[in-house]
């Protein structure tokens, strides 16, 4: 795992997923959010250079793309958010009830992290 995103996830995927969730689904952010926003937040957190070719098949080979999908899969397992396709606009992520509750809490990061950790135990 030499790339920054993989290294970041290897040292605490739940914490990274909670931070990205709190950033992507801030109180004022609309839902759904484009998957590219998840990628942008993740790559910024990892200090990686964001690649903007997210709709090409070669982009799907990038560690950033795989890392973004891993984050969303963690959200799905915790019922925070889920993937959806919006017409010709591509992949989006929509906050679910647990995600809406986390975003409305006083501390979305901690609420999301709690759900993520709980989902690992069940």
Q: Is residue 72 part of a domain?
A: yes
121 in a structural domain:
no
Residue 120 lies in a domain: no
Find out whether 38 and 20 touch, Cβ atoms under 8 Å. yes
- Domain range for 97 is 4-115
Q: Which of 112, 80, 78, 108 is nearest to 93 (CA)?
A: 80
- Tens of pLDDT, residues 41-99: 999 999 876 554 444 455 556 788 999 999 999 999 999 999 998 877 789 999 999 99
Q: What's the rounded Cα separation, in Å, for the pair 68 and 54?
A: 11
Q: In total, how many domains does the chain have?
A: 1
Question: Tokens for 10?
Answer: 């290897």
Question: Is the overall model pTM greater than 0.85, yes or no?
Answer: yes
Residue tagged 């690649």 (tokens): 51
Residue 1 pLDDT more than 70?
no
Task: State the Cα angle at 35 between 34 and 40, rounded to 5°.
Answer: 100
Domain membership flag for residue 97: yes
Residue 30 lies in a domain: yes
CATH code where residue 70 lies? 1.10.10
């Amino acid at each position: 795992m030499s790339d920054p995103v993989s290294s970041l996830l290897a040292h605490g995927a739940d914490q990274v997923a909670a931070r990205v969730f709190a950033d992507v689904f801030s109180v004022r952010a609309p839902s759904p959010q484009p998957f590219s926003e998840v990628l942008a937040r993740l790559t910024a957190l990892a200090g990686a250079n964001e690649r903007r070719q997210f709709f090409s098949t070669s982009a799907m080979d990038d560690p950033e793309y795989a890392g973004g999908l891993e984050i969303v899969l963690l959200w799905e397992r915790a019922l925070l958010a889920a993937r959806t396709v919006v017409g010709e606009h591509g992949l989006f992520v929509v906050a679910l009830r647990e995600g809406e509750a986390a975003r409305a809490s006083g501390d979305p990061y901690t609420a999301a992290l709690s759900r993520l950790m709980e989902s690992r135990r069940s």
